C-alpha cells in the first residue's frame, strides 16, 4: 500500500521540506539535511515533529504521511528504531487528546508496511494502546485467528508474543468485550510450557478472577488444563476455581466462611458468586435428573419457597438449562442441560448416543428395504 506524501520530489528534497516546515512551527532543527544520510534526517525530524501535532488534522496527517513515506523506503535494519520512535511519539504525545487522528496516523503506517515486516508488531501494539484510551478497539483487528497469523508472519519471540496477547487482552477487557478477552487470555496461557509456566502466575491469576467475575461465563473446566493454572495447584485460588468447575453451592459457602477476606481481596462479590454457583449447581442437577422437586431445589440451592420459580426463569434465560415448571406437582421437568465439565465420561455418553442413533437408523433402513426391496 502506498502512503501519500507532499509532492513528487526526491527524498532529499522531501526531507529538506519537512525540516523547513517543522522549523517554521517552532522546532529546534536545522533546515539543512544531515551529512549522515536519510535515516539521520528522519531521526531528527521525528524527534522534533511534536510541534506539528497541534495543527489541523488534515495538515498533521499530510506531514506524518510524508514522514512515513520516507520511512518506508529505508532499509529494514534502519527502519525499526525510527518507527519505534515515531510510534512512541504518537502514543504519548498529548495522551488522551485527538485519539482518532493518532489512530489514523498509526493505521497509515501499519498498512503502508509489508505484511510480514517484523516492525509491524510495534505499530500494532501502539494502535492497540491508543484505541484503548478512547474505547475504539472495535476499529482495530483483534480477531484471534488474525493475531495468530501476525505472530507467525512477524516471527515473534516468546516474550513479544506474550506481550502482544496480553496487550490485546487488556484492551478487550477495558472495552467490555469479555468473551473475546477470555479467548485471548486462554491463548496466552496456552502458549506457556512446563519450563516457563511459573512466569505466567500473574496472567493465570488474572484469567481465573476475570472468569469467575464475568456473569456470562459458566464453563470453566478448560482453565484447569492450562499449564500456568496447574502451577497454582494447592493455592486458595485454584481451590476456588475447582469449586466453580465441579462442586456444589454448599462447597462454595463453606469455602467463603473460611476465606471471606481472600474472596474480598480478589474483588469478587459474594452475592454474585452465590448466584453463579446456584446456576452451576442446578446445571449439574439437571444433567443427573430429568425431574427435580421444588423441595430439593430449595435445599440444594439454598432458596426460599417463593424464590424457586423466579430462579428457574432466570436459569432458562442463560440458555444453559432448558426446562419447564410443573406448578401442580411442584417440580421442574428438564429437557436439556449443558455439562459443566466435558471429560472422558461425557465423551463416552456421546459415543453411546451416536452408536444408538446409528443402530436405530440401520433398523429403519432394514424395515424400509423389507417393505420396498428397491429402497
Q: What does the pLDDT profile of the chain (375 residues) look like in tens digits?
A: 444 444 567 888 888 888 888 888 888 888 888 888 888 989 998 888 888 877 777 888 888 888 888 888 888 888 889 999 999 988 886 555 778 888 888 998 998 888 999 999 999 999 999 988 888 888 899 999 999 999 999 999 999 999 999 999 989 888 888 888 888 998 999 888 877 877 788 889 989 998 999 888 898 998 998 989 999 999 999 999 999 999 999 999 999 999 999 999 999 999 999 999 999 999 999 999 999 999 999 999 999 999 999 999 999 999 999 999 999 999 999 999 998 876 555 556 655 667 777 777 878 877 777 776 655
Residue 18 Cα to chain centre, angstroms = 40
In terms of DSSP bridges, do strands 291-293 and 331-337 run parallel, antiparallel, or are they unpaired? antiparallel
pLDDT score, position 188: 92
Instruction: At 146, list the grid cell.
Output: 488474525
Cβ atoms of residues 167 and 126 within 8 Å:
no
In terms of DSSP bridges, do strands 321-326 and 331-337 run parallel, antiparallel, or are they unpaired? antiparallel
Instruction: At 226, list the grid cell.
Output: 492450562
Of 12, 8, 57, 9, residue with least CA distance to 34: 12
Cβ atoms of residues 41 and 33 within 8 Å:
yes
pLDDT score, position 8: 65
pLDDT score, position 304: 95
d(CA 301, CA 252): 11
pLDDT score, position 295: 96
| 91 contacts: CB under 8 Å, gap ≥ 6 | 102, 126, 129, 130
Instruction: At 72, list the grid cell.
Output: 518506508
Counted residue by residue, the chain has a size of: 375
* Cα dihedral 113→118→119→124 (10° resolution): 80
Cβ atoms of residues 322 and 286 within 8 Å:
no
Of 159, 171, 75, residue with least CA distance to 117: 75
Instruction: At 196, list the grid cell.
Output: 516457563
| Strand order, beta sheet including 291-293 | 291-293, 331-337, 321-326
Q: Which residues of 307-329 are buried (b: 16+ CB within 10 A; e: fewer)?
A: ebeebbeebeeeebbebebeeee
**How many H-runs (helices) and E-runs (strands) does the chain carry?**
18, 3
pLDDT score, position 5: 46
**DSSP H/E element including 361:** helix 344-371
d(CA 212, CA 145): 25
Query: Left if phi > 0, otherwise alpha if psi is -120 to 50, otherwise beta: which for 234?
Result: left
Q: How many CB atoms lie within 10 A of CB 196?
A: 13
Cβ atoms of residues 45 and 22 within 8 Å:
yes
Instruction: At 327, list the grid cell.
Output: 406448578
- Specify the pTM: 0.74
Q: What is the largest CA-CA distance in the chain?
A: 97
pLDDT score, position 1: 43
Instruction: At 214, list the grid cell.
Output: 464475568
Amino acid at each position: 500500500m502506498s502512503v501519500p506524501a507532499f509532492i513528487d520530489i526526491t527524498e532529499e528534497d522531501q526531507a529538506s521540506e519537512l525540516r523547513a516546515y517543522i522549523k517554521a512551527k517552532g522546532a529546534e532543527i536545522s533546515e539543512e539535511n544531515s551529512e549522515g544520510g536519510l535515516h539521520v534526517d528522519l531521526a531528527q525530524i521525528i524527534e522534533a515533529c511534536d510541534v506539528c501535532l497541534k495543527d489541523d488534522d488534515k495538515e498533521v496527517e499530510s506531514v506524518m504521511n510524508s514522514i512515513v513515506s520516507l520511512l518506508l523506503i529505508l532499509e529494514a535494519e534502519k527502519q525499526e528504531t525510527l518507527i519505534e520512535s515515531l510510534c512512541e511519539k504518537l502514543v504519548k504525545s498529548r495522551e488522551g487528546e485527538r485519539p482518532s487522528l493518532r489512530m489514523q496516523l498509526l493505521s497509515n503506517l501499519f498498512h503502508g508496511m509489508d505484511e510480514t515486516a517484523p516492525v509491524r508488531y510495534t505499530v500494532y501494539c501502539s494502535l492497540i494502546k491508543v484505541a484503548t484510551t478512547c474505547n475504539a478497539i472495535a476499529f482495530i483487528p483483534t480477531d484471534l485467528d488474525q493475531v495468530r497469523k501476525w505472530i507467525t508472519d512477524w516471527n515473534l519471540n516468546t516474550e513479544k508474543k506474550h506481550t502482544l496477547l496480553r496487550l490485546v487482552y487488556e484492551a478487550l477487557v477495558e472495552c467490555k468485550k469479555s468473551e473475546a478477552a477470555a479467548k485471548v487470555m486462554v491463548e496466552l496461557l496456552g502458549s506457556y510450557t512446563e519450563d516457563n509456566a511459573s512466569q505466567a502466575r500473574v496472567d493465570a491469576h488474572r484469567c481465573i478472577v476475570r472468569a469467575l467475575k464475568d456473569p456470562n461465563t459458566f464453563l470453566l473446566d478448560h482453565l484447569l488444563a492450562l499449564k500456568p493454572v496447574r502451577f497454582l495447584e494447592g493455592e486458595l485460588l485454584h481451590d476456588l476455581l475447582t469449586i466453580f468447575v465441579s462442586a456444589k453451592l454448599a462447597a462454595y459457602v463453606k469455602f467463603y466462611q473460611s476465606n471471606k477476606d481472600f474472596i474480598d481481596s480478589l474483588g469478587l462479590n459474594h452475592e454474585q458468586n452465590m448466584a453463579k454457583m446456584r446456576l452451576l449447581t442446578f446445571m449439574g442437577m439437571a444433567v443427573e435428573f430429568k425431574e427435580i422437586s421444588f423441595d430439593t431445589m430449595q435445599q440444594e440451592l439454598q432458596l426460599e419457597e417463593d424464590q424457586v420459580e423466579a430462579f428457574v426463569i432466570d436459569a432458562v434465560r442463560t440458555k444453559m438449562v432448558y426446562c419447564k415448571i410443573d406448578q401442580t406437582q411442584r417440580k421442574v421437568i428438564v429437557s436439556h442441560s449443558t455439562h459443566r465439565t466435558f471429560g472422558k465420561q461425557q465423551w463416552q455418553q456421546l459415543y453411546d448416543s451416536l452408536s444408538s442413533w446409528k443402530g436405530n437408523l440401520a433398523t429403519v433402513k432394514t424395515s424400509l428395504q423389507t417393505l420396498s426391496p428397491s429402497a
